[in-house]
Amino acid sequence: MNSIEHAPLPRSYLDDGHSLRSWLLTHDHKRIAILYALAITFFFFLGGFAALLIRLELITPAGDMLTADEYNKAFTFHGVVMVWFFLIPSIPATLGNFLLPMMIGARDMAFPRLNLFSWYLYMIGGLFTLAMLVLGGVDTGWTFYTPFSTMFSNGHVMLTVVGVFVVGFSSILTGINFIATTHSMRAPGMTWLRLPLFVWAMYAVALVMVLATPVLAMTLSLIALERIFGVGIFDPALGGDPLLFQHFFWFYSHPAVYIMILPAMGVVSELITAGARKRIFGYRFMVWAIVGISVVGFLVWGHHMFVAGQSMYASMVFSILSFIIAVPSAIKVFNWTATLYKGRIDFSAPMLYALGFVGLFMLGGMTGIFLAATALDVSLHDTYFVVAHFHYIMVGGSVMAYLGGIHFWWPKVTGRLYSQAWARFAAILMFFGFNLTFFPQYLLGYEGMPRRYHEYLPQFQVLNILSSAGASILAVSYLLPLVYLGWSLRYGARSGPNPWRAKGLEWLADSPPPTHNFEVTPVVTDGPYAYEDA
């Protein structure tokens, strides 16, 4: 591009224009990743604020701080924002956008304009959600169950549904882009079985986004139409089937859990290999596990409906399929552990996050097996046991891995090093804060405390206080990275291209990388994670 300049290094993508316009109209996948990162961080803290309200309310058994209606709106807002505006786009839209082209040795995504467009869709969807919040919120829960959402709720269901519909298309477009990029943009020699596991995870997650999200979009359209016209196929008065809504909704929303956890698995595979300086144990098994999870993940949605009136036979099939999905998940945990075995483990911050992920994911996954058992689910359904289970996966798993990834690739993204001491402290604090918040909720659920109520029986108070105390620690550990990572942007030491001495094409480029990533398209001659040779 700049043939006049004779500087040995090409300009980094951060220096390629400083105006607001150069950011808002960029086609560079790395800049779009940063736009996404800023947006999802905003929504993360917004959703976190709703969680704060929930935990404050639950310190005392009486429903004294929030009314029942306000409490409903708080947990709905928390769920909607955290699921669709933080977790779904978290790793794919930020780290995935930034790293996928670099890891396969490409100059950009296959469709850069589409990439930018999907960010704008995300922002438009976000605006609808903010409008919903300002105008008074919605009380259906993030699941929008009919017939409440279609006939009875007085909240701003329409605004929320439109917002989620729009953000859904943003994730469809991201998925299409990832699939086309992975298929057609790989560097010479980058065969499918030489792809880093992060790329495999992004590919699998793109498949899930593309195959599940349209179903959500249409299901939400049906809710909107039913609200507008007062009739629809979910209306029991006509002989319609409210359970049909749950089928459609969970056909998306269960795979959506895999949209959240598969990228986390990809990140952790990179972090553990780099931190243990070893090849991943059982690369092919890891690949098949990723693909297996994404496919089988589509066949288990009925386990959300065991007590909703679904047929007993359907429940049995869904239950068995849900057990089966534990197999590839367990393979991944075994292989991460085996990778650590006899490794020269570097306990820097990314590794601490990764180790935290493995432990928390395992606990979350194991309790998922409890819930997949139809008989046990009858008593655990809609209790805090479920809340604890999916927070272990989504927060303990995905958010941990997301932050681990941010810490790992921060030098690559910004060209700066951050304080390891503070980062390690935050990672350890997060692990303890998280467990203090959510482990008591397992016990609460086991003892029978139902979810989604603003008051509870007095005997649950001690555990609830522990949980709220843990949540405040967790909040501090989420705010800390903002401080020391922000500080590093200005005062951090400059990073070389490869501060972790890690393998992978992204580390060949400068930190921060030039606009088109590679001066010469790299040629790949070996699989990923060639650490022993180093």
Partner 1 sequence: MSTDTTMLAQQFDDAAQQRDASALGMWVFLATEALFLGVLFAGYTVCRVRFPEAFAAGSRHTDMLLGTIETAVLLTSSCAVALALRDVQLGGRRIAVWLLLLTAALGLGFLVMHGFEYYSEYREGLMPGIHYTQQGPLAAPMQLFFCLYYFITGFHSLHVGIGVILLLVMARRTHRAQFNAQYCTPLELSALYWHLVDIVWIFVYPLVYLVGRAG
Partner 2 sequence: MNPSPQPATPPSLRLHLIVLAALLALLLTSAGLALLPLGVFNTLSALGISVAKTLLVMAFFMRLRRGPPLLRIAAAVGFAWLAVLIGMTVADVLTRVVLPSPW
Binding residues vs partner 1 (CB under 8 A):
101, 106-112, 114, 172, 175-177, 179-181, 183-185, 210-211, 213-215, 217-219, 221-222, 225, 229-233, 237-241, 244, 248, 516, 521
Residue 57, Cβ density class (10 Å: 0-12 exposed, 13-18 middle, ≥19 buried):
buried
The reply to whether 472 sits near partner 2 by the rule CB under 8 A is: no
Question: Which entry of partner 2, partner 1, none binds 486, CB below 5 to 8 A by partner kind?
Answer: none
Nearest to 206 by CA among 322, 89, 37: 89
The reply to whether 466 sits near partner 2 by the rule CB under 8 A is: no
Report in angstroms how near the CB of residue 96 gets to partner 1 at its nearest.
Answer: 16
The reply to whether 279 sits near partner 2 by the rule CB under 8 A is: no
- 230 DSSP 8-state letter: S
CA angle 215, 217, 221 (to 5 degrees): 115
Contact between 333 and 362 (Cβ < 8 Å) = yes
Question: Which entry of partner 2, partner 1, none binds 3, CB below 5 to 8 A by partner kind?
Answer: none
CA 63 to CA 529: how far, in whole Å? 54
The single-letter code of the amino acid at 83 is V
Q: Is the peptide bond before 236 cis (omega within 30 degrees of 0)?
A: no
Report in angstroms how near the CB of residue 195 gets to partner 2 at its nearest.
Answer: 12
CA 107 to CA 142: how far, in whole Å? 38
For CA atoms 23, 27, 28, 33, the dihedral sign is positive
Q: Which is nearer to partner 2, 378 or 457 (CB)?
A: 378
Which of 4, 18, 21, 239 forms a contact with partner 2 (CB under 8 A)? 239
Q: Interface mask (CB under 8 A) for partner 2, residues 193-222, using x and -?
A: ------------------x---x-------
Which of 3, 184, 520, 533 forms a contact with partner 2 (CB under 8 A)? 184
Which of 31, 186, 304, 454 forms a contact with partner 2 (CB under 8 A)? 186
Question: Which entry of partner 2, partner 1, none binds 31, CB below 5 to 8 A by partner kind?
Answer: none
Nearest to 30 by CA among 15, 50, 10, 51: 15
The reply to whether 320 sits near partner 2 by the rule CB under 8 A is: no
Which of 313, 458, 490, 534 forms a contact with partner 2 (CB under 8 A)? 313
- 150-172 core/surface letters (b: 16 or more CB in 10 A; e: else): bbebebbbebbbbbbbbbbbbbb
* Terminal Cα distance for the chain, rounded: 34
Nearest to 216 by CA among 242, 244, 252: 252
Question: Which entry of partner 2, partner 1, none binds 131, CB below 5 to 8 A by partner kind?
Answer: none
Alpha helices in 230-325 (DSSP H): 242-276, 283-296, 312-324
Which of 235, 241, 447, 455 forms a contact with partner 2 (CB under 8 A)? 241
Q: Which is nearer to partner 1, 105 or 266 (CB)?
A: 105
Report in angstroms how near the CB of residue 314 gets to partner 2 at its nearest.
Answer: 4
Report in angstroms how near the CB of residue 19 gets to partner 1 at its nearest.
Answer: 21
Question: Which entry of partner 1, partner 2, none binds 310, CB below 5 to 8 A by partner kind?
Answer: partner 2
Residue 384 DSSP SS3 = helix
Report in angstroms how near the CB of residue 189 gets to partner 2 at its nearest.
Answer: 10
Which of 312, 375, 520, 534 forms a contact with partner 2 (CB under 8 A)? 312
DSSP assignment string, 427-496 = HHHHHHHHHHHHHHHHHHHHHTPBSS-S---GGGHHHHHHHHHHHHHHHHHHHHHHHHHHHHHHHSPBP-
Which positions lie near partner 2, rule CB under 8 A? Answer: 183-184, 186, 211, 215, 237, 239, 241, 243-244, 247-248, 251, 298-299, 302, 309-314, 317
